[in-house]
Each structure stands twice: as C-alpha cells, then as structure tokens.
Amino acid sequence: MTEKSEFDSPMLRTALAQLDQTASRLQLDQDIHERLRHPRRALVVSIPIRMDTGRTAVFTGYRVHHNSVLGPTKGGLRYAPDVDLPEVSALAMLMSWKCALMGLPYGGAKGGVRCDPRSLSRHELENLTRRYTAEIILLIGPDLDIPAPDMGTDEQTMAWMMDTYSMTQGRTVPGVVTGKPLIVGGSARRREATGRGIVYALYQAARRLGQELRGRRVVVQGFGNVGSVAARLLWREGCVIAGVSDIKGGIWNPNGIDIRQLEAHVAESGGVGGFPGTEAISSTDILFQPCDVLVPAAIGSVIRGDNADRIKATIVAEGANAPTTPEADVILRDRGVTVIPDILANAGGVVVSYFEWVQGLQYYFWRESEITTRLQEVMTRAFNRVWALATKEGTDLRTAALMEGVRRVAEGYRVRGLYP
C-alpha cells in the first residue's frame, strides 16, 4: 500500500493553517513557530498478526509525539481504514493545543492503526493491539507517552495495552494508558467524560448568550460513546433531542426522541435506524435540520464551505475532532453561529484521563462526585478564559482557544530554550 505524502492531507493542512494564523495573531517568535509546525517524533510500524484463518496479515500503525515541552505526551489510539501519518500528525498537534488550553501538564500525541476493527474478531483485535503495543513500546510509558481510547478502540483495548506493557516491565503499570476498565485502575466517569464535558461547555455558552439549555432543540450526529452520552445528558437536562444519526443513517422527530428508549433500541438492533415514531434521514442531512444546538460527534470535515450555509443551528458544539473546515468557520461566523471548538468542547475526555493518570500514579482513587465536580470546574474555567479572550480580541471562540493553547506551548519552549 502506497503511503501518502506527509503534507498531502486536508486535516494536516488545516491544522498547519490554523497554527500559522494563530502565530501571526500572537506575533510568535519565528523560531518557536517553526518548531511548532513539526512533530517531535513520528514512528511508523508494521504489525504482522496471525489471523483466525491461520494466515498472516500485516497492518500499518503510527504513533506521533507533537511536543513534550509541558510534560509527557497524551493522545488517543484509533483503529480505522483511513488512518494515515498526516491524519495522526494533525491530531497530535490538536492534542497539544487542547492539553495546554485545559492547563494539563501534557504535550500532544496520537496513534492509529489502519484497519477495519469491525471486520476483525476479538482474538484478532487482541493480537493486533498487543503487537502494536510491542512495536511502539520504546515511545510509551507513564512518564513518556500515555495512550487512550479513540475511534475504533475502547476500554478493552487499553487493558490489552496495559497488560502488554506491564509484562515487559515485570510489574503492573496502570499509568501507561488511560481509559482502562475500573478493575485494572481505570477512573470512574472516564467513559462518559467527553460527552459530559460537551454539556458543561454548552451550559456555559447558553448562559453567555442569555439562553437556557432546557427546551433547546438538539441534533446529534454520531451516536457512539461521545454522541450518545451527550444526547442522554442533554435529554435529562430537558433538551428536545430531535435528531440522531450513526454510521448507518439517522432518525428525525421534531417533537423529540426518548433517549432512554433509543439506547435500548440500539443495544438490541445495533443502530438508531428503525426507531419507532421517527423519520429516516441520512447521517449527512441530519446536520441541516432546524435546531438550536448541533453536536457533530462523528468524523472530521463534515461541515464544509459547500454546506455551511445550510446549518440552521445557532450553537455548534464540536464533539468530533475537526468536524468544521476553515472555510466553513468563516461562513458560520459571518452568520452569527457560535461554534464551540473541538479543543474546548470535547476536552472532557483528556481531563478525566489526566485524573485517571494521577490516580494510577498514586494508587489512590477518587469518588465519582469528586471527578464530576473537578471536571466541571476545569471545563468552566477553560470556557471562561476562552470567552474572555474572544471578547477582548473581537474574534470567535476557535481563534481564542487556539491563541490560548498555542501561547502556552510557545511559552514553554521560550522558557526551556533549545537544546543543545
């Protein structure tokens, strides 16, 4: 399989363009700006595994560290057919800004394996995960780089990673990954942290705009771990969840969908399609339905320059990574749509991952109420900083969030200097 050029990626070009624009606004030192444009290190590995049929298949995996100036690197691991080096590099860069924005002592990282996890058996997924972990083991560790689950991976994936790493160390090392099952050192509330963080960010945005969340009509694209949690919590807050979609399609009911019943339907049927009392709609068209709040929580680049004028929401809370292109950002801003950017809106996952990491290092675990309270505090403080900066600079929330995140990383470089 031919590898793409490291610069031949819309997502990476977007991330670099955002950095360049932010550096210009901040009047960043040119030398530091140049360092920020490049990942510190990137590893590409071959992952040979024995399939259930007995044959050997070879997959390609990646792990990228964007920077570690503020601490060990942190970032998810995704299994998807279109994973490549440019995508992983872009996502590692976004993680740098996200961690810095939230005030976490981390740099940004990301990992991925090019595969279709739905076509692999549990045994094959375990073999893939363990061999991938062995191949990147020189880059990971509780003081070096801490992976977490992302698209196509979950708690079980992290348990296999932790076990593989621990076997090489001769001791159990819970701090090497986050997003683990509770029984092996995971944190309470980690699974729902990203979705819960979106709700906290939306609450603050609504308050600043003089609105209430209760009674708002909401559309959620993506009913995976992030979207389903956000939908459930918003529904409990009194929002009307009018539209939901997953990879197979979407459903629409302007009068509202009972999320508790929908979750039972998904558990039984495997998807949102066919839920009683709703109209079938495509997962793309769900974006353009009339609503107050839109939560794109599926994949990147779904709101683009050629469709942003069809968005009817007044608030867009980005649950996915990079769901809005720069061209679409301009259109939405000109139309008065408030976009809560991904590095702020979906940061709840990495915040509670940080809590899990701290708990694992101390072998002391917190109560659920402590975690929820601390997550809300961190999300609220970050949102307020971004809102204040956006107001001061007369700009949108994404620009302000990037300015805050990039500034913190750049300051770390300035203070530490250049070795040798």
Q: How far is the C-alpha of 300 from the C-alpha of 302, rounded, in Å? A: 6
Q: Is 339 helix (H, G, I), strand (E, B) or coil?
A: strand
Q: Which residues pair with 221 in a beta bridge?
A: 245, 296
Mean pLDDT, consecutive 10-residue stretches, the chain (420 aa), reads: 56 92 97 97 98 98 98 97 95 97 98 97 98 98 97 96 98 96 92 95 96 95 94 97 95 97 96 96 95 95 95 96 93 97 97 96 93 97 98 97 98 96
Q: Note whether 39-172 and 193-345 share their fold.
A: yes
Predicted local distance difference test score (pLDDT) of residue 4 = 46
Please list, in sequence order, all residues whose beta carbon lies within 8 angstroms of the beta carbon of residue 188, skipping any fewer than 6 positions away: 182, 365, 366, 367, 368, 371
Length of the chain: 420
* Global confidence as pTM: 0.94
Q: Is 198 helix (H, G, I), strand (E, B) or coil?
A: helix
73 with 110: CB under 8 angstroms?
no
Neighbours of 270 (CB within 10 A): 10
Q: How far is the C-alpha of 195 from the C-alpha of 232, rounded, in Å? A: 9
**The token pair that represents 272 in the structure block:** 């949102």
Helix, strand, coil percentages, rounded to 5, for the chain: 50, 15, 35
Measured between alpha carbons, how far is residue 214 from residues 210, 259, 294 in Å?
12, 15, 15
Predicted local distance difference test score (pLDDT) of residue 301 = 87
For the annotated catalytic residues, the residue numbers are 110
Domain ranges for the chain? 39-172, 193-345
Predicted local distance difference test score (pLDDT) of residue 1 = 37
E-strand stretches of 285-378: 293-296, 315-317, 338-340
Burial (0-12, 13-18, 19+ Cβ within 10 Å), 358: middle
Predicted local distance difference test score (pLDDT) of residue 136 = 98
Q: Which residues pair with 78 in a beta bridge?
A: 112
* Region class of 369: left (phi > 0), else alpha (psi between -120 and 50), else beta: alpha
H helices present in 245-347, as ranges? 259-269, 326-334, 342-345
Domain covering 39-172 in this structure, CATH number: 3.40.50.10860
342 with 322: CB under 8 angstroms?
yes
The amino acid that residue 399 corresponds to is T
Pairing assessment for the beta strands 293-296 and 279-281 based on DSSP bridges? unpaired
Predicted local distance difference test score (pLDDT) of residue 3 = 44
291 phi and psi angles, rounded to 5 deg: -160, 170
348 with 379: CB under 8 angstroms?
yes
Predicted local distance difference test score (pLDDT) of residue 316 = 98
3-state SS string for 177-195 = CCCCCHHHCCCCCCCCHHH
Q: How far is the C-alpha of 162 from the C-alpha of 180, rounded, in Å? A: 8
Predicted local distance difference test score (pLDDT) of residue 2 = 42
**The token pair that represents 282 in the structure block:** 């495509």
Angle between helices 348-362 and 368-393 (to 10 degrees): 140
Domain covering 193-345 in this structure, CATH number: 3.40.50.720
